[in-house]
Structure 1
């Protein structure tokens, strides 16, 4: 059976942070030396743009935060570049999602001497139920506003361990940020309360919304469980089409980083509408629709509410 973490051990490098407690004693905020960086703050690298933005909100400018992957990148199959390895040598801390999302991560950390923190630590995971990944934890835990509060706490703790003098700043910023995230969760719950029970279903291309669906009381269906080689097979399309017809689901969705042709087949088979594009694995560029994590949550919440209470695009 395929495994999100095939070949990867959670204890494969000595500088990993157990939970989020740093194992290195750092005498100053920045440990970078002999590099071309102009910034004398500590450098915190993240594996993808979503958690980079979350970290920036908690960091409150006390550290420099940068994402290894760029806006629009598909995180699952990413391959670190030589430039990534160079940047990694400058890092004072690396933040990863965990739960097997970054299947490439050990390739990176094997060559980088920096402590890491796993931001999904403490999350009550949801197992994948199909597609050959049965029993593996769904890695998209940040898509739940409730889970995001755990991410923020883990970021706060990791930054405080790196920079103890900034504890008060990180704590204050984290609490303010958590309030904003909670507002999105409340919006989803309120706006979806009037959707008929039979239509309370979130149908997507990738199974990236298990945690958000749990928060919002929605039934989740998807074409494939995780972005991989076998996406949008005839069997997947037939199974989802049957569910959409049987439950009179008005709108189906697809994510920004994948091809939506299989979901287009579902709408041709069922007459459902195609909802607005959802964002999961990556933020957009600064001038795009979801330049921040809060924008991503709000955009997806509004698209889902519109799709299940009105109609999406015409097929």
Structure 2
């Protein structure tokens, strides 16, 4: 669904060669024997990197190709990005089309590859240019997130069989935290009036989350690679928000909220804050970890929909 633009495809292969050679030269004299002895795990974006690091612990070194704050849908890796992950033992991608730009890297790498969303039943995109294709944002649901943790633990175990027990135990501990978030959120949603059980966002990135906690979903555009905030999108959403008397609307950190501001002004709904989807924040930000991201979003959503 989402691929590098043509210019990115033309420049990616040379960048890979440069990154691989540079990394090989620099690692020869680094003297960092402890780091060099650990499996290097590369992920396509920061959410997966946090999952892998939490499960892998000090047995692995994890690097995300994309940096905090990046929109992963049409990402074009730089030579610096690729240098960080050159020589990786394991590559972890999301799948479901969101990080297809990794394909050229896979062609040039001997690393094992794991798809974190494998086994998740895809929800189709309901509208727009990609209607009918899989919605890639399965990690936004704590329930689907458990599948991600299982897949990552299994992939790490294949690369480092001696660590299998540690990986499995940490994945279970991690999953228990997601279960607690899900239970808390569903309890709040069940207590909401039916008219307050609609989640309105800029991108349609919350389909799995909305389904699994009992919310309806409305949005301006389905996927960030589409046209964003067109007059037709705004007018249609204004009508829906008015009809349903939705008390609060939201937008995500990697896109402009100007179109959603129009919706809020026209309907009287409150623009209730910034949600995070495709990327973690930096260490000092609101969502430095995956658990923080899911917890932040669920708290913001349920507090906003509980208003007035």
Flag whether TM exceeds 0.5 (same fold). yes
Equivalent positions of 1:250-269 (< 5 A) are: 250-269=247-266
Choose which of 225, 230, 236 in structure 1 pairs with 2:227: 230
Pairing 1:290–2:299 present: no
Question: 1:41-61, CA deviations, whole angstroms, 9 ceiling, x for partnerless residues?
Answer: 110010000010011111021
**Distance of 2:160 and 2:251 partners within structure 1:** 40
Pairing 1:114–2:111 present: yes
TM-superposed CA distance for 1:293, in Å, is: 0.5
Q: Paired residue for 1:194?
A: 191
TM-superposed CA distance for 1:242, in Å, is: 0.7
Equivalent positions of 1:42-81 (< 5 A) are: 42-81=39-78
Structure showing the higher helix proportion among its residues: 2
Task: Indicate conservation of the 8 Å contact 1:223/1:231, yes or no.
Answer: yes
**Distance of 2:255 and 2:108 partners within structure 1:** 30
**For structure 1, which runs of at least 5 residues remain unmatched after alignment?**
8-31
TM-superposed CA distance for 1:85, in Å, is: 2.7
**Distance of 1:254 and 1:263 partners within structure 2:** 7
**Distance of 2:4 and 2:254 partners within structure 1:** 23
Q: TM-score, normalised on structure 2?
A: 0.89
Equivalent positions of 1:36-47 (< 5 A) are: 36=27, 38=32, 39-40=35-36, 41-47=38-44
**Distance of 1:88 and 1:112 partners within structure 2:** 10
Q: Paired residue for 1:29?
A: none
**Distance of 1:160 and 1:189 partners within structure 2:** 33
Task: Indicate conservation of the 8 Å contact 2:2/2:74, yes or no.
Answer: no
TM-superposed CA distance for 1:211, in Å, is: 0.3
Choose which of 92, 95, 98 in structure 2 pairs with 1:95: 92
Task: Indicate conservation of the 8 Å contact 2:2/2:225, yes or no.
Answer: no
Q: Paired residue for 1:21?
A: none
Q: Paired residue for 2:81?
A: 84
**Distance of 2:126 and 2:41 partners within structure 1:** 34
Question: 1:209-253, CA deviations, whole angstroms, 9 ceiling, x for partnerless residues?
Answer: 000000111110100011024100011001111110000000000
Q: TM-score, normalised on structure 1?
A: 0.87
Q: Paired residue for 2:16?
A: none
